[in-house]
Amino acid sequence: MRVSQNGTHFARIGAFAFALFYCAIAFGAEGSSAGNDHAVINFLRSGVQLEQGRKWLEAVQHYEKATRAFPSDEEIKLRLLISRIHYDVNRRCQDPTLLQAVRAMSVEQSLELYSEVLALLEMNYVDVVDMTEIVRGGTAYLEVALTEPRFVHAFLANKDAVVIEQFRTSIHRVALAHPIRSRLEARKVVATVASVAERDLSLAATATVLQFICGAVGLLDPYSSFLSAGELSETESQIEGNFVGLGIALQPQEVPLRILNVIPRGPAQEAGLLSGDRIIEVGAARCTEVGAERAADLLRGPENSSVRLLIQRQSQPVFEVTINRRRVEVSSVEKVHMIDKTAGVGHLKVTSFQKTTTQELDDALWALHRQGMRSLIVDLRGNPGGWFNAAVAVADRFLDVGGIVSTRGKNGIENQNYSATRGGTWQMPLVVLVDGDSASASEIFAGAIRDNNRGLLVGSTTYGKGSVQGLFPTKTFPGGLRLTVSKFYSPDGDAISERGVAPHVPVNSTQIVATGVAEQPRYAAKPALAPSSDIGGGFVRSASPIVGGDGERLIEDSAASDAVLRTAIERAISAQLAPHVSRN
């Protein structure tokens, strides 16, 4: 049971205080399972420095990297869990729409929302939930919130710090005094804690209940989350492959807002904005004064409305631009070209899986076919996943028989087997590029190709996110949940979670693959915890997996510096067993 696995961490966090300043780490001593492993010690030291600076997003990314290097180290796992909670609490405190909605709710409405969330967990979550651990998670969130300056400023601005700390260190005696066996008991406990917090701290009861709601979902696994209305809408937009906005990708949690990427043919590109530009002002609001989340929120707006931006471009004088918001189509299949015309090697990159991916792939394959493609390279590096059904459909384009993926969940409806259909199958030799950031839906495709011996996988082992999430709008609040509803397995029955899909041809590459999206905590793909980029006017979270020209010389230069791609081209040429592409 998943919650029982996390229970050890909850207990350890409860034994410590949640904030860094109350949690001592004895480097190299008994506290570290790695003993005298200097690499682990250095990782922990660097992470603590990030925590001391309250750089929670960077801390999460740092500890996620550390867990890959040292998957069995319990101290690193604990620091990652604590950093995630701090990051989530801080991010929500910067979400003005969420704060406004919470303040507008009555205590009874917030408790009804809590009850609804618990019901959704019991009904849909992949594992059986333990209500004691669910309340423990909420207690963790509340304790962390009471140490965070943003939360204190928002809800306890005039309260004495000593009084807050006394309450924080004693609240678990109220919340976790007895085992909790049902949703009704959990609700009663949370109502009691909210009442005590209101009495002792003058903390709004709805603010307390919100922490228990977030903690109930946020600590189930790295991919489940409570979603505000904006987050739910953005996640749905990513699945659809379009949104209303400006068409830019932003570096998360950075002010002034820094543009990472400008979506082709979007309003921002048409207005002349470039990657690297910084947004100093949005409307009349200065970004450094309102913060990253609020500034990003101000970029949002209805279709055909306009927004004024003050832009700084390197050493040039600042300039003003007004951009009209409109619907932006986001391509998921890019870099479609003949990478080696002479040998007939085609290439395309799938950046995510969304509802438009299958049609985009069909168009790309026919375009390459007309150019003489005799083998194909599909690049999935850096692809965090996306829509489950799209991954199945894409795999089906290359398989005429055999399994694609199977899912297993708590409910029978989640136990499904997906197999290939014979019609419309492309038969050319196939090479698939993968790396440690190929996750979820990417792993469905890679696993299907590997287990059916349909093609060759080149690169490094994939991330290992073998679970499927579902979106569940809530009735008592304009938002919803993203919950893990099942785990998926490759056609041979291999579990993907925490294992990934290993390549046939391992190739290490130090090249950074530019995808136009900031590096993000993988648990984020978790909208409520992991903002990655802003493409529509708000920090867009990775959608849950519910799961040009010939460019010949340019590609040659690129391949020369990319060991994985260079190896793939060689393999694609040698794999050409048939003189022509055929489609049955």
Tokens of residue 488, six digits: 């998926």
- 315 versus 340: which is more confidently predicted? 340
pLDDT of 424 over the 70 cut: yes
- 438 versus 513: which is more confidently predicted? 438
Residue 7: per-residue pLDDT: 43
Residue 301: per-residue pLDDT: 85
In contact, 432 and 456? CB cutoff 8 Å: yes
| Dist CA 454 CA 430 (whole Å) | 7
Q: Is 54 left (phi over 0), alpha (psi -120 to 50) or beta?
A: left
Lowest average pLDDT, out of 337-341, 355-359, 513-517, goes to 513-517
Q: Residue range 89-115: average pLDDT? A: 90
Average pLDDT of every residue of the chain? 83
Give the tens place of pLDDT for each residue, 92-104. 988 887 888 888 9
Lowest average pLDDT, out of 47-56, 206-215, 420-429, 498-507, goes to 420-429
Residue 102: per-residue pLDDT: 84
Decide: residue 505, CB within 10 A, 0-12 exposed, 13-18 middle, 19+ buried.
Answer: middle
Under the banding of pLDDT at 50, 70 and 90, the label for residue 13 is very low
In degrees rounded to 5, what are phi and psi of residue 117? Answer: -60, -45
| Dist CA 260 CA 254 (whole Å) | 11
Q: Give the residue carrying structure tokens 């990319």.
A: 562
Give the tens place of pLDDT for each residue, 301-314. 888 999 999 999 99
- 48 versus 531: which is more confidently predicted? 48
| Dist CA 295 CA 27 (whole Å) | 39
Strands 430-434 and 403-409, sheet pairing: unpaired
Highest mean pLDDT among 34-38, 483-487, 536-540: 483-487
pLDDT of 443 over the 70 cut: yes
pLDDT of 554 over the 80 cut: no
| Percent above pLDDT 70 for the chain | 83
Q: Which CATH superfamily hosts domain 333-464+487-518+549-574?
A: 2-enoyl-CoA Hydratase; Chain A, domain 1 (3.90.226.10)
Give the tens place of pLDDT for each residue, 389-418. 999 999 999 999 999 999 999 888 889 999
Residue 559: per-residue pLDDT: 61
CA separation, residue 13 to residues 9, 91, 209, 214, 366 (Å)? 6, 21, 20, 17, 55
Q: Which of 116, 32, 117 is nearest to 75 (CA)?
A: 32
Q: Residue range 232-243: average pLDDT? A: 80
Looking at this protein, which amino acid is placed at residue 408? R
pLDDT of 558 over the 90 cut: no
Sequential DSSP letters for 72-126 = T-HHHHHHHHHHHHHHHHHHHHT-HHHHHHHHHS-HHHHHHHHHHHHHHHHHHSS
Give the HSE-up count for residue 241: Cα atoms under 13 Å, Cβ half-sphere: 18
Q: Residue range 522-549: average pLDDT? A: 32
- 401 versus 578: which is more confidently predicted? 401
What percent helix, strand, coil does the chain show, rounded to 5?
A: 45, 20, 40
* Element at 472 (helix H, strand E): strand 467-473
- 436 versus 550: which is more confidently predicted? 436
Q: Which of 426, 354, 357 is nearest to 397 (CA)?
A: 426
In contact, 252 and 121? CB cutoff 8 Å: no
- 508 versus 166: which is more confidently predicted? 166
Lowest average pLDDT, out of 113-122, 250-259, 374-383, 555-564, goes to 555-564
pLDDT of 447 over the 70 cut: yes
Q: Residue range 428-439: average pLDDT? A: 94
Please report, for the chain, the start and end positions of each structural domain, with discontinuous segments joined by +: 2-220, 242-329, 333-464+487-518+549-574
Q: Residue range 323-340: average pLDDT? A: 92
- 405 versus 3: which is more confidently predicted? 405
Residue 263: per-residue pLDDT: 86
Tokens of residue 306, six digits: 């306009």
pLDDT of 375 over the 80 cut: yes
Under the banding of pLDDT at 50, 70 and 90, the label for residue 253 is confident
CA separation, residue 364 to residues 104, 240, 324, 373 (Å)? 49, 19, 30, 11
Residue 560: per-residue pLDDT: 56
Which CATH code is given to the segment(s) 242-329?
2.30.42.10
Q: Which of 99, 201, 97 is nearest to 154 (CA)?
A: 99
| Dist CA 433 CA 379 (whole Å) | 5
Under the banding of pLDDT at 50, 70 and 90, the label for residue 11 is very low
Residue 252: per-residue pLDDT: 73
In contact, 533 and 88? CB cutoff 8 Å: no
Give the tens place of pLDDT for each residue, 466-525. 999 999 999 999 899 999 999 999 999 999 998 999 999 999 864 433 333 333 333 333
The answer for residues whose C-beta is within 8 angstroms of residue 432's C-beta and 6 or more apart is 377, 378, 379, 380, 445, 446, 449, 455, 456, 457, 458
Q: Residue range 64-68: average pLDDT? A: 88
pLDDT of 277 over the 90 cut: yes
CB neighbours (10 Å) of residue 313? 15
| Dist CA 3 CA 339 (whole Å) | 48
| Dist CA 131 CA 578 (whole Å) | 59
pLDDT of 341 over the 80 cut: yes
pLDDT of 446 over the 60 cut: yes
